[in-house]
Amino acid sequence: MSTTASSLDHRMGGRVPASALVRFVDRWIFVLMAAWFVVITLTGFIPTSLEKIAASQAGMRPPFPFMLHAHAVLMGAFILLLLAQAILVATGRQQHHQKLGMAGIVIAPALVVVGCLLVPIIHHQVWGMTQAAPPEAQAELQQVMVIIRNIMLLQIQVGALFAIYIGIALYLRKSDPGMHKRLIFLAVALPLPAAFDRIAWLPNTMPETPLGPILYILLAVAPMFIWDLLRTRKVHKAYSLWLAGFLPSSVLIYLLWNSDWWQATAPRLVGL
C-alpha cells in the first residue's frame, strides 16, 4: 500500500504513466475499498434493521437474540477497523497500524465463534415459532425453515473461509505485506452478501438459488482486483489462493441448495 507509483512504473518498464490519478489510486486504493465495504454494509443493514427493530418493539416479531447483537457489533467493528488500518497505512503511520492490528487479532476469532453460535440459535428460534404457530401459518414458516437451511450453506462457507484467510493473512503480516492486506480484504468480502441481499432494488436470485450472493462477492472485490491487474499485468497470488477455496465451495453450495439430502442433514447439524 505504501509502494509509490514511480517505483511501480520502474518495475513495469514505464508501461503505465505515473499520472496524478494513478499515484492517488496507488496510495488510496485500499482505503477506497474499505469505504466501499462500509457503504455496502450500511446500505444493506440500516433500513432493514430499523424496520425489524420497529416490528420487534411492536410485538410483531420476537426480540433479537443476544448473539445477533454481538455479531453485528463485532462485524461492524471489524469493518471500521479495516478502514482505520487502511488509512493509517496510506498516510504512512505504520507503527500505529501495527499496534491497532492487535485489535483485529482479538475481534476476528471472536467474530467466527459468535457466528458459529448464532447459526443454531436462529434455527432453534424459527423452529420454535413454527411449532407454536397456528395451522394456517405452518406452511409459510416451514418454507422459511427451508430457506434458513439453505442459507446455512453460505454461512458455513463464510465462517470457514473467513477463518482460514484471516489466519493466513495474520501469519504473513510481516513476511508478505502485499499478500496480507489483500487476503484481509478478500476475507471481509465473504460475508458482504448479507448486506447485498437486503438492498431491495438490487437484482438477486435468492432464495431460489445462491448465484446472486456468489456474484456479489466477486463484485465487492472487483475494484481491487481490476486495479491490481491494470498496474501489474498479472493476477496477484492472493486472488489465486482465495479463488482456490471460494470457487469449489461455491459450486458445492449451488449443488446442495434445496437438495433433499441437505434439507435432511442441516437440522441435525444444529441439534434439531
Q: Report the 3 state secondary structure along 24-87.
A: HHHHHHHHHHHHHHHHHHHHHHHHHHHHHHHHHHCCCCCCCCHHHHHHHHHHHHHHHHHHHHHH
Evaluate if residue 175 carries a pLDDT over 90. yes
First-to-last alpha carbon distance for the chain, in angstroms, is 47
CA distances (Å), 14 to each of 7, 8, 24, 189, 226, in order?
9, 8, 17, 32, 19
> What pLDDT does 141 receive?
80
pLDDT tens-place string over residues 25-34: 889 999 999 9
Q: Where are the domains of the chain?
A: 5-269
pTM above threshold 0.75: yes
**Longest Cα separation, the chain:** 72
Evaluate if residue 10 carries a pLDDT over 70. no
In order, the DSSP letters of 85-134 are HHHHHHTT-HHHHHHHHHHHHHHHHHHHHHHHHHHHHHHHHHHHHHHHS-
Q: What is the DSSP letter of 201?
A: T
Q: Give the residue-averaged pLDDT of 115-121.
A: 94
Q: Give the residue-averaged pLDDT of 261-268.
A: 96
C-beta separation of 148 from 126 below 8 A = yes
The set of cell numbers assigned to 91 is 498516510
- 61 pLDDT band (50/70/90 cuts)? confident
- 23 pLDDT band (50/70/90 cuts)? confident
- 135 pLDDT band (50/70/90 cuts)? confident
